[in-house]
Amino acid sequence: MAGNATDYIKHHLTHATVPHDGGFWAINIDTFSVSLVLGFIFLFVFTRVAKTFSMENPGRLQLFIEMIVEMVANQVKDVFHAKSAVIAPLALTIFVWVFLMNTMDLLPVDLLPYIAQLIGEHVFGADPHHVYLRVVPSADVNATFAMSLSVMFCIIGFSIKAKGLGGYIHELFSAPFGPKVGPINFVFQIIELLAKPISLALRLFGNMYAGELIFILIALLPFWAQWLLGAPWAIFHILIITLQAFVFMMLTIVYLSLAVEDH
């Protein structure tokens, strides 16, 4: 049983990669594909609501979308005090997209991997035991680092736009201890800059990976125990996936707000 359980866990924690032998340049095609599909779903739903917007007779979906947009807009207004036409759409995209990625963790553990195995066996003639699919993109450290590195480049871009290239370079060597200790300031600035994407990526990855692993462990229990433990954990996990999406969004707003301020 221990061996079967170990194989089961390893199988569920193995990515579908291209090329299949892995390596540094391998792409986790499951993470990429699921993220892309969720991104298109986000764009489709929000675009459709915008095109069918009604003041007189709003539907439930429109009211729900308006609630999300208003929540994000209020957070941006409270935290980001500079003028930018990009920050609110960026924050909205981050929150909804990360939330959708996290929500994939609420699907039954074996559902999509089993479907992938059936397709791999009957359509492509593959061995089902060698067909892998991980459906939670935010439980892949590559995905969380990709998003957090994008935020880091936005921080640099916002800083240069607000202060100019010369002003940004001057700040790197003059803050926080003054221009007399420029090299020390530069080291601290680089550490601070790199710490932001690392903390963003690892916080989201750690929480979602732990949640995914707990669901896998629950799936190994008898059927009655799966319902007894799985249902409460799923309900609690709804709070986690929402909170992690909110934290990722809020920290991005805070970092970009700090980037445009003079120090």
Q: Which residues are catalytic?
A: 199, 203, 207
According to DSSP, the β-strands at 27-28 and 17-18 are antiparallel
Whether residue 31 contacts residue 18, with contact meaning beta carbons closer than 8 Å, is answered with: no
**What H or E segment, with its residue span, contains residue 233?**
helix 223-259
Distance CA 100, CA 125 (A): 32
Residue 189 CB partners (closer than 8 Å, separation 6+): 171, 172, 173, 175
Q: How buried is residue 171: exposed, middle or buried, by Cβ count under 10 Å (0-12/13-18/19+)?
A: middle
Which pairs from 35-40 meet CB under 8 Å and 24+ separation? 35/97, 35/101, 35/137, 35/143, 38/97, 38/100, 38/101, 38/104, 38/137, 39/97
Distance CA 218, CA 235 (A): 14
